Amino acid sequence: MSRVTVYSTAHCAFCDRAKTMLEKWNIDFDEVRIDRDSAAMKEFVRITNGARSVPQIVIDGNPIGGFTELTELHMDGELDELMQPD
């Protein structure tokens, strides 16, 4: 299974929606709260090439974007391909 990380903050409706969708699709993920930890914020900026909004979703070290991009990947059937074991 691919490794999925969701970078999020508290009180973020789109973060909650992205996590809910991943759970619905039975995709395990790690959540990294960037509002609680300065080291996590630095990691977030580095991995997402300076993204300024959350959620940001990373699959196997590759940033895919946020909730909208996650939903589009799912609707296009591309998320299943990304989640296939190597």
DSSP 53-78: SS-EEEETTEEEESHHHHHHHHHTTH
Task: Please tell me the pTM assigned to this model.
Answer: 0.92
CA atoms within 13 A on the CB side of 61: 0
pLDDT digit string (tens) for 11-69? Answer: 999 999 999 999 999 999 999 999 999 999 999 999 999 999 999 999 999 999 999 99
CA-based nearest residue to 49, from 61, 67, 35, 32: 61
How would you classify the pairing of strands 4-8 and 30-33?
Answer: parallel
| pLDDT of 84 | 82
12-15-21 Cα angle (round to 5): 140
Per-residue pLDDT of 72-82, as tens digits, reads 999 999 999 88
The answer to whether domain 4-82 has CATH 3.30.930.10 is no
pLDDT at 1 over 80: no
* pLDDT band, very low/low/confident/very high, at 2 (cuts 50, 70, 90): low
